[in-house]
């Protein structure tokens, strides 16, 4: 069976809870891990949520799998994971993959919404140009 992006997103939204900034902040205070799955140029341009790990969507499975030589030890199945991207689509797909791996993952949505609502941000890299 062939799938479309629309179908993949519908499946992800069906199993991944969407949370807001206030709930995310409370979860972080209790030990949740935040992951930015955007590509590196996006993060360099806009910065990222304060304290978030940057794991691009393309590397997520490798970083999340404890059997992978690329596993990120900061990811633990006993801590909730909050995922975001630019608008929420990649975050939904990434959070579904994390759930498939046995993590408890949530979709925060997009970075812009977080930043526009006053969420703490690690500023972009100043290249001095």
| Tokens matching residue 75 | 């990811």
Sheet strand arrangement including 105-110: 53-54, 33-36, 81-85, 105-110
| 34: containing domain | 19-119
The reply to whether 101 falls in a domain is: yes
DSSP H stretches of helix in 16-65? 21-29, 40-46, 60-64
What's 83's domain CATH number?
3.40.250.10
- Give the other-Cβ count within 10 Å of 85's Cβ: 24
- What are the tens digits of pLDDT across the range 50-97? 999 999 999 999 999 999 999 999 999 999 999 999 999 999 999 999
Residue 4 maps to a domain? no
Instruction: Evaluate whether residue 59 is within a structural domain.
Output: yes
Residue 84 · residue 61 · CB < 8 Å: no
pLDDT in tens, 20-36: 999 999 999 999 999 99
Residue 6 belongs to a domain: no
7 falls within a domain: no
Q: Is residue 5 assigned to a domain?
A: no
Provide the domain count of the chain: 1
């Amino acid at each position: 069976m062939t799938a479309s992006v629309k179908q993949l997103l519908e499946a992800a939204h069906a199993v991944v809870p969407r949370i807001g900034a206030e709930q995310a902040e409370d979860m972080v205070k209790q030990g949740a891990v935040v992951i930015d799955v955007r590509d590196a140029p996006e993060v360099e341009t806009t910065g990222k949520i304060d304290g978030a790990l940057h794991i691009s969507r393309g590397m997520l499975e490798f970083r999340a799998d404890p059997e992978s030589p690329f596993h990120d030890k900061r990811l633990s199945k006993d801590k909730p994971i909050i995922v975001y991207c630019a608008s929420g689509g990649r975050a939904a797909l990434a959070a579904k993959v994390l759930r498939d791996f046995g993590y408890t993952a949530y979709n925060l949505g997009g970075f812009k919404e977080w930043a526009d609502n006053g969420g703490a941000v690690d500023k972009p890299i100043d290249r001095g140009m």
